[in-house]
Amino acid sequence: MPRNTVVKKKKNISVVSQLDLFSWNKKKKRRKKLLKKLKRNFALLSKQSRVYKYYLAIWIIFFMWYLFFFSTFFTVKEIYIYRDDSLSDIDAAYRSLNYVRWDNIYFVDPWVIVSRLKNTQKAIKQIDINKKIPDTIEIRLQSYAPLFRIWNTLALENGSMVQNNWIVRDSLPELSLYPDPSDDENLNFTHLEKILALSDSLKKNILWLQIEKIEYYTTAEEVLIQINNGLILIFDIEKDITPQIKKLSVYSSEKIDILTPFAVYIDLRVDGKIFTCEVENENSCKNNITNLYNDDYFISQQEASSQISQ
């Protein structure tokens, strides 16, 4: 009995194993079919997705092309101009940049803006341009520094002349210019800087000296400076002004104090020499200056006398 029972059990196990193996093979075939089907569907889906990607890329490119070239989204709608001083004309700057409005902000050339602004306003020294995407341009203007007041205008450090600004008028030295420059004429800016340095050096080297008037004769390139005692100092600004100031300082300290009313003028134009014209020959001295500068000095004298009479 035990032997028959054992045989029977082995037979049952064998039958069960065959059934399981058949079922497993069947499931394996089913999984293979499912996997093949998934691979086919995935390949088809990948092919379709590539086509969709192409369509999407083309649509995006077309949209960006339209947005960039034809829409008003990237066109200049706002222009803001700021200035660091009161010498540049904001209204004139806005008028010169009206052409930029409704242009594509990417195509606006900053160098054209700089050229237009500097051509319309000589006072402008530096221009900073900032494009703010999508539709705004900000511009900051900085002007050349003013050096002198010349009647109703200001002489700037680049030699240009602009209308007198009353905000800075009183803080600048006055310069009389002969002959009168034309409206579009630029002065020699190196000579303007020399004249300013000349007046500063005189005050530093000679104590108690005060400058009453500065006259600049552009034809002769010479400067007449009248100090507080009425004495006129004549300088040649085409030459180095340092030796001229040095010999005047030595003359004042070692010979005659120039602040004493001993002469009508002191001529410092000749290298190594000083020429003086004493007050005893006042009429002759004035005639000498008139002969030097012809009608220009005569006009300046007339203006001075008319101001005194008023």
- List all residues 6 or more positions away from 187 whose beta carbon is below 8 Å from its beta carbon: 155, 159, 160, 161, 177, 181, 218
User: 268 or 307: which carries more pLDDT confidence?
Assistant: 268
Residue boundaries of the structural domains of the chain: 1-71, 78-143, 147-309
Level-2 CATH architecture, domain 78-143 = Roll (3.10)
pLDDT in tens, 171-196: 788 899 888 777 667 888 899 999 99
Q: What is the pLDDT of residue 60?
A: 80
Percent of the chain with pLDDT over 70: 75
Total Cβ atoms within 10 A of residue 249: 16
Q: Is 262 exposed, middle or buried (0-12, 13-18, 19+ CB in 10 A)?
A: middle
- List all residues 6 or more positions away from 233 whose beta carbon is below 8 Å from its beta carbon: 202, 224, 225, 226, 227, 248, 258, 265, 266, 268
Q: Beta strand 222-227 with 211-217: parallel, antiparallel or unpaired?
A: antiparallel
Task: Determine which of 47-56, 102-111, 210-219, 256-265 has the lowest per-residue pLDDT on average.
Answer: 47-56
| Domain 147-309 bears CATH identifier 3.40.630.20 | no
pLDDT in tens, 103-161: 999 899 999 999 999 999 989 999 999 999 999 999 999 999 999 988 788 899 999 98
Q: What is the pLDDT of residue 306?
A: 46
Q: What is the pLDDT of residue 292?
A: 83
User: 48 or 80: which carries more pLDDT confidence?
Assistant: 80
Confidence label for 23 from pLDDT (cuts 50, 70 and 90): low
Q: What is the pLDDT of residue 185?
A: 74
